Amino acid sequence: MTTHINDAQKKLGSVIRERRRAAGISQEAFATEVGIHRTYIGAVERGERNVSLANILRIATALNVSAAQLFNEAGL
């Protein structure tokens, strides 16, 4: 079960990183916009953090997508 969760975190983090980069936003600027520390965003993008639903919603809003779209793109 833990491996499945870790894989899901990595997939979601990868999608977030790809979307942020495609938008041309630095990690630091994105973190400021979302209201989350830059190191936390980095850990989310690397799949190291089990990000909360509240933070997923904040990230999705900053990326102008729905949380469902992020999950869908991650194959979750």
Q: Note the pLDDT of residue 32.
A: 96
- pLDDT band of 1, cuts 50, 70, 90: low
CB 15 within 8 A of CB 59: no
Binning pLDDT at 50, 70 and 90, where does residue 2 land? low
pTM of the predicted protein model? 0.91
Phi and psi (nearest 5°) for 40?
-70, -45
Tell me the three state secondary structure of residue 44.
helix
